[in-house]
Structure 1
Amino acid sequence: MSTVLYARVSTLEQNLSHQRTQAEAAGFAIDEVIADDGVSGVSTRLADRPEGRRLFDKLRRGDVLVVRWVDRLGRNYQDVTDTIRHFMRQGVVIRTVINNMTFDGSTTDPVQQAVRDALIAFMAATAEAQAEATKAAQRAGIEARKGDEGRYRGKKPSYDRKQYQAVLDLLVEGAGASVIAKATGLSRQAILRIRDDQAGAEKALAKWEA
């Protein structure tokens, strides 16, 4: 039996080594890391990624697949739920670093199965919803750069691109505003503004990056 960490990054603001460090800090003894760098979790299924394919060939009954959160497997609802259920049928246990979730296909109790499956569905849906919100915000940012050249840009945001991305990542993981504020160094009010109007926050940031 082995414990494999699957890591994925799709932007410059994310970091592969941080995902292993975070997993080990949470108490996971990682035997091997399989990672995809610069791969979208929205448009590319896990089975179609260069390293993601290896998981389907490598993992065996009794192995543990560790991911930072389910969005590392993907941000498409159907792909994530299909992937997790496939591995559970193979006898692989999936564990998340964030929130310490465990998805195990060995249970035969129907109530436990129902709770597990509902949780998988909820987390996969959350990952896709966050991805859609991010795409909408990015489109708003692109339009802001196109249409506001030479115009008044308004008040400069209190956050930079790295902080903004960190806020989005923590929001999708279910962290509260106070926790995110402490982690990013931003005010709680700034976190709430980003949470409640992600498109507007992206647009304001894009104006000052142009």
Structure 2
Amino acid sequence: MIIGYARVSTTDQNCDYQIDELTKSGCEKIFIEKASAKTKDRPELTRLLDSLRQDDIVVVYKLDRLGRSLKDLITLLEMFKSNGVQFKSLSENIDTTTSTGKLVFNVIGAIAEFERDIIVERTKAGLKAARARGRKGGRKQKLTDKQIKLAKSMLQDPSVQKSDVAKHFNISRPTLNRYLDAAPDLEQESLFK
């Protein structure tokens, strides 16, 4: 089945031109979305994705009607490919049912992968530079080593429950357990050193 997807950014806009072009291209069913691409809630796209079967062809008037970003677009196109669904974009002349269209799709995929790799490299470089300047990533620790030692010391008393110790430090019991499990080598006797 040839399935069209049309989207306009606001309810004030008209998607008649997209619908006309999709109809001319042979679409048997057209899903019409009246929502910004920035919103993640796109019920018509969800309905389209749920209705897809192997050998279906998804057609859009322009690529930007389908994806919110290059990453989002590539994710959708890869999902189509892995499920045996073909894709056509009328304006950009992309048609994965042809050899040329597959080539263009693979080039777009390679560019997206390159973009992801660059982001990963930049992130790693930024974290390395921050560590070199003494900054530590992640959440701020809820308990210091001294507090962990104190918690262990408190738990030596059989009348003290873990939930009492957790309340004392204003943390949850699972958080206390994580700290106790992660720091088994802390000695209670060194509490006041």
Higher relative contact order (CA 8 A, sep 6+): 1
Normalised to the residue count of structure 2, the TM-score between the two structures is 0.50
Normalised to the residue count of structure 1, the TM-score between the two structures is 0.46
Larger radius of gyration between Structure 1 and Structure 2? 2
